[in-house]
Amino acid sequence: MPQKPGIDGVDAVLERFAGQQYIADRSIGMAVYLSVRMGKPLLVEGEPGCGKTEIARTLTAALDTELIRLQCYEGLDADSTLYEWNHPKQLLTIRIEEARKDPKALEREIFSEEFLLKRPLLQALTHDGPRAPVLLIDEIDRADEEFEGLLLEFLSDFQITIPEMGTIRAKRVPHVVITSNRTRELSDALKRRCLYLYIGYPSREKEIAILRVKVPGLGEQFAEEIAGFVQRVRAEDDFVKRPGISETLEWASALMALGTTKLDRDIVEQTLGFVVKDAQDLQTMQSGRLDALLGSP
């Protein structure tokens, strides 16, 4: 069996993340390291587009394992997250076997693993790979509060109880990363089961470093100009939506694709939609704020 790649310290996490082109600071390194070592879920909160989901992807690559993703949305229920019985197949089996088997044996048969459709949480528990998978529960704040209750047994004991089959325990405890944009407060019960990490907007220096790593060919001075402009946009207190790192990266890539090497008013105005993604903010920018932001040091 292949050896599980060991992570033996915060520095090792930072090194491996850097190898995957993720510029992490020590707080991220510490949270990921402790989560892996202690086998506890990691709850990552922060502004949209600041690299929360990317942590799970990078961790997957760093551990050379598989990523199982559960995207949360309103109305998410047990059928979509844990398991579902293959009802059409069950009905067909009932029709075919009803004359040959007694009802008790038939019931046992149709509620066996063969008729089970595994959803992400059960997939993570029964994962057969050589290493524990990374389970990403993305944007949990989009799901209902009832869904958090559903997660509690899973996160504390890494087991799922199926009434017809009994309790299924994890073969290998998955590395769980839960992300939230903080559009609502999560329950204390859920938070208690997790280690906590908050990712805010990056400093100017960190944003420049991210740009240099993620957008190949971007000159240092141009990266500084882009990061400086985005930082000034973020500092505007009347904007509805502030740009995250993902917006900065998209904008830089677009500017590179256009062959631009220096920010000027025309090119910024033409590509403003990459940075400012709210109609009201765009209007504010076009009514004089853009000149002020470009003119600011």
Partner 1 sequence: MKPGNRSDPSFVARLAGFAAFLRLRGFTAGTGAALDCAQALRQISILDRDTFLAACIVTLAKSPEEVARLVESFNLYWSTYIEPADSKKRLAVSAPPSPPPDGAVSSNETAPGLRIAVDRRGMVRVGLYSPDAPSSGHDTRPLNRKRIVAIRAGVRRLRRHAATRPGRRRAPARRGPIDFPATARHSLRQGGELIEFRFRKPRKRRAELVVLWDVSGSMRDHEAGLFALVHAFHRLVRRTRVFAFGTQLDEVTGLLGGQSYVHAARAASGHLRPMGGGTRIGPCLEDFLRRYGRLLHEGTTLVVLSDGWDLGETARLSTALRRLHHLCHLVVWVNPYADDPRFEPATTGMREALPHVDLLLGPGDFETRTGFAPERLAARRPLTRPGPRGKAFIAPVR
In the chain, where does DSSP find H-type helix?
A: 10-19, 26-38, 52-63, 78-81, 87-97, 103-110, 120-125, 145-157, 188-192, 204-214, 220-235, 245-257, 265-270, 279-284, 290-295
The H-or-E segment that residue 44 falls in is strand 42-46
Find the part of the chain contacting partner 1 (CB under 8 A) among 70-78, 161-169, 213-221, 269-277.
70-78
Helix-strand-coil split of the chain, %, nearest 5: 50, 15, 35
Give the dihedral of Cα atoms 102, 107, 113, 116; nearest 10 deg.
130
Query: Binding to partner 1 by residue 4, rule CB under 8 A?
Result: no
Stretch that binds partner 1, among 62-70, 201-209, 237-245, 250-258 (CB under 8 A): 237-245
Q: 58 vs 180, which CB is nearer to partner 1?
A: 180
Residues of this chain, 124-163, that bind partner 1 according to CB under 8 A: none
CB of 15 to partner 1, least distance (A): 16
Rounded CA separation 69/63 (Å): 16
- The CA–CA distances, whole Å, from 58 to 7, 35, 198, 253 equal 14, 14, 17, 21
Residue in the block written with tokens 């940075």? 275
What residues from 156 to 185 belong to the interface with partner 1 (CB under 8 A)?
A: 181-185
Q: How far lies 165's CA from each of 85, 113, 253, in Å?
A: 12, 8, 51
Parallel, antiparallel or unpaired: strands 83-85 and 116-118: antiparallel
CB of 173 to partner 1, least distance (A): 15
Angle between helices 52-63 and 26-38 (to 10 degrees): 60
Q: Which of 130, 149, 169, 196 binds partner 1 (CB under 8 A)?
A: 196
Task: Point out which span in 64-72, 87-95, 116-124, 204-212 binds partner 1 (CB under 8 A).
Answer: 87-95
Give residues 240-259 in contact with partner 1 (rule: CB under 8 A).
Answer: 240-242
| DSSP state, residue 273 | G
Closest distance of CB 57 from partner 1, Å: 20
Residue 77 binds partner 1 (CB under 8 A): yes
Q: Which of 13, 17, 45, 72 binds partner 1 (CB under 8 A)?
A: 45
Residues 200-229 that bind partner 1 (CB under 8 A): 200
Question: What span, in angstroms and rounded, lies between the C-alpha atoms of 189 and 259?
Answer: 51
40 is a contact residue toward partner 1 (CB under 8 A)? yes
Closest CA to 134 of 267, 7, 285: 7
Token readout for 13 is: 């996490």
Which candidate, 44, 82, 56, places its Cα nearest to that of 198? 44
Which one of the spans 25-33, 54-62, 64-72, 252-260 is the region binding partner 1 (CB under 8 A)? 25-33
Q: Find the shortest distance in angstroms from Cβ 162 to partner 1.
A: 14
Among 4, 5, 19, 27, contact with partner 1 (rule: CB under 8 A): 27
Report the residue number, 90 or 126, with the smaller CB distance to partner 1. Answer: 90
Q: Per CB under 8 A, does 238 bind partner 1?
A: yes
Interacting residues with partner 1 (CB under 8 A):
10, 26-27, 30-31, 33-34, 37-38, 40, 45, 74-75, 77, 85, 87-88, 90-91, 94-95, 97-98, 103, 106-107, 110, 181-185, 188, 191-192, 195-198, 200, 237-242, 280
